Structure 1
Amino acid sequence: MAEAKDAYLRIKVGDRYSFSKTVTEADIVAFAGITGDFNPLHIDEVSAGKTQFKGRIAHGMLTAGFISATLSNLPGIVLYISQTLHFRLPVRIGDTITAISEVIEKRDRKNEILLSTVCKNQDDEVVLEGEAVVRII
């Protein structure tokens, strides 16, 4: 318990954690296989080409997963409590996504942290945004 409190105390409002990844065909295929989400929008170019997106896009939850990578950089052992997500723009194969989580509030009673979360593409456009709550355990 003392280790958790020490880790929690090292975290400051304004601290930022980031992770960047270029989305590949292999990422989308692996994500579909792991989750069972074989929506044609993600895996079938012909079907996806008939949509408003004019081609395949990455799973939204694949992009959201990059937020989890940022949270793994906080001090201590991190327990993900909740996450809100607002998908703003599609992510395509070849896009480089940078996820950024910023501490906006500390909740001392439970060692909880509220973070703003955002994912941006290589053109600095927001593709996803929300908030996360984690607990240092």
Structure 2
Amino acid sequence: MDTARFNVGDTLPSKTLAVTQALINEYADICGDYNTLHVDVAGMKDHPLFGGTIAHGTINVEPVLQAICTVQGTKWPSAGTKIDLQFRAPVKPGMTISSVLVVKEKKADSLICDMTIQDQDAKPCVKGTVEIK
């Protein structure tokens, strides 16, 4: 990847995802993860911690993957791309999440970015670092 067009402190293009129960259910069909946390709307309604279903963790990361592909000019993140993350808050149906990637280090062949996936109120749901090659 050509890193010449980026500088430390640059914010990369943000990507957004509207999370719906239909999206969560479709993802469950694809990956086979039918955990109650994700698909049992009635059963999770009164859950003391979440108060409803939550998205699969990989759904939460989708805006970052889209942002990486935009920067790389690819359909899929290229080999050598690394993501180190921590989940901070659940993502629920009805939320809109977006990626925030800020370049913290620039190498000849990659960018190291601070990563935040935030909800529509700018509350962090996922934080970490990304190396984009």
> Are 2:87 and 1:87 equivalent residues in the alignment?
yes
TM-score (norm 2): 0.85
Query: Conserved in 2, the CA contact under 8 Å of 1:11 and 1:75?
Result: no
CA distance in structure 1 between the aligned counterparts of 2:64 and 2:72, rounded to whole angstroms: 16
Q: Residue type matched to 2:10 in 1?
A: D
> Are 2:69 and 1:72 equivalent residues in the alignment?
yes
C-alpha RMSD of the superposition: 1.7
Q: Which residue is equivalent to 2:9?
A: 14
CA distance in structure 2 between the aligned counterparts of 1:87 and 1:66, rounded to whole angstroms: 14
Query: Conserved in 1, the CA contact under 8 Å of 2:104 and 2:113?
Result: yes
CA distance in structure 2 between the aligned counterparts of 1:124 and 1:22, rounded to whole angstroms: 14
TM-score (norm 1): 0.83
Partner of residue 40 from structure 1, selected from 12, 33, 36: 36
Q: Residue type matched to 2:62 in 1?
A: G
Query: Conserved in 1, the CA contact under 8 Å of 2:103 and 2:113?
Result: yes
Query: Cα distance, 1:30 vs. partner?
Result: 1.5
> Are 2:19 and 1:23 equivalent residues in the alignment?
yes
SS of aligned partner of 2:113: strand
SS of aligned partner of 2:22: helix
> Are 2:79 and 1:59 equivalent residues in the alignment?
no
CA distance in structure 2 between the aligned counterparts of 1:76 and 1:39, rounded to whole angstroms: 35
Query: Cα distance, 1:83 vs. partner?
Result: 0.8
Higher helix share: 1
> How many positions carry a matched residue from both structures?
128
Structure 1: 4+ residue segments shifted above 6 A? none
CA distance in structure 2 between the aligned counterparts of 1:76 and 1:15, rounded to whole angstroms: 18
Query: Conserved in 2, the CA contact under 8 Å of 1:18 and 1:98?
Result: yes
Same amino acid, percent of matched pairs: 30
Structure 1 residues without counterparts, runs of 5 or longer: none
Query: Cα distance, 1:50 vs. partner?
Result: 4.9
CA distance in structure 1 between the aligned counterparts of 2:73 and 2:40, rounded to whole angstroms: 41
Higher strand share: 1
SS of aligned partner of 1:71: helix
